[in-house]
Chain A
Amino acid sequence: EAQVTQNPRYLITVTGKKLTVTCSQNMNHEYMSWYRQDPGLGLRQIYYSMNVEVTDKGDVPEGYKVSRKEKRNFPLILESPSPNQTSLYFCASSLVGTSGYNEQFFGPGTRLTVL
């Protein structure tokens, strides 16, 4: 089954304790992206990657890191989480088409609480 998986689905942590949220897709998609969803703010793009070893900042990259060492995986790293990073996080992937756009497939989300 074609899918985007995220782990963990739920995480409660404390300020300053480094964490990683994993994202994996089995559709051989070149493009992967991370979003956070907050009440009243919708979905905001954190980072995206056009292919292996190619990453770029979205709208709200502060406090986050990403890496793309393999095509299927795109982990989101919070080196020193703070309470304002409490949010619902979504990973997404898509093909990179000649048209310059493609629909994204989203993972089920990771609800992160930073105390």
Chain B
Amino acid sequence: DQQVKQNSPSLSVQEGRISILNCDYTNSMFDYFLWYKKYPAEGPTFLISISSIKDKNEDGRFTVFLNKSAKHLSLHIVPSQPGDSAVYFCAAMRTGTYKYIFGTGTRLKVLA
């Protein structure tokens, strides 16, 4: 049972345009969400997070939106750059449990 789903395995976007990566979850007990970026042959690196008490968190070109009623979050990258080409994982957890559930990842390709 996949509690965190990223339904788009891949996404291609033109440089300078917006990239939107989506993530859905099924467990309503999750209250903290994170996005990680992963380059080939490297470990994932933390990108941005959001608590369920917020519906938006912004950090430079990266914004995460959370829609609790729909159990959906999205990562917006504006403007997209070729260096953003990577696999993006969303993850969810219930605060205090330290058990992280990751999605299957979306491979983003930003075309120059």
Q: In the complex, are the beta carbons of B100 and A104 less than 8 A apart?
A: yes
Q: In the complex, are the beta carbons of A45 and B46 less than 8 A apart?
A: no
Interface size range on A against B = 20 to 34
- A residues near B34, Cβ cutoff 8 Å: 103
Q: In the complex, are the beta carbons of B95 and A100 less than 8 A apart?
A: yes
Q: Is A53 an interface residue (CB 8 A)?
A: no
Q: In the complex, are the beta carbons of A4 and B98 less than 8 A apart?
A: no
- A residues near B103, Cβ cutoff 8 Å: 42
A100-B95, A100-B96 are contacts. A59–B101 as well, Cβ < 8 Å? yes
- The segment from A12-20, A65-73, A79-87, A105-113 that touches chain B is A105-113
Point out the residue from A99, A105, A106, A108 that lies within 8 Å of B95, measured CB to CB: A99
Instruction: With both chains docked as a complex, state the minimum distance between the C-beta of B22 and any C-beta of chain A, in angstroms.
Output: 14
Instruction: With both chains docked as a complex, state the minimum distance between the C-beta of A76 and any C-beta of chain B, in angstroms.
Output: 15
Interface size range on B against A = 20 to 34
A101-B93, A101-B95 are contacts. A43–B45 as well, Cβ < 8 Å? no
A103 to B89, CA, bound (A): 13
- B residues near A101, Cβ cutoff 8 Å: 32, 49, 93, 95-96, 98
Q: In the complex, are the beta carbons of A33 and B100 less than 8 A apart?
A: yes
A107 to B91, CA, bound (A): 17
A92 to B46, CA, bound (A): 11
Instruction: With both chains docked as a complex, state the minimum distance between the C-beta of B1 and any C-beta of chain A, in angstroms.
Output: 10
* 7 residue pairs, one from A and one from B, having the closest CB atoms: A106-B43, A100-B95, A42-B104, A43-B102, A103-B46, A100-B96, A42-B102
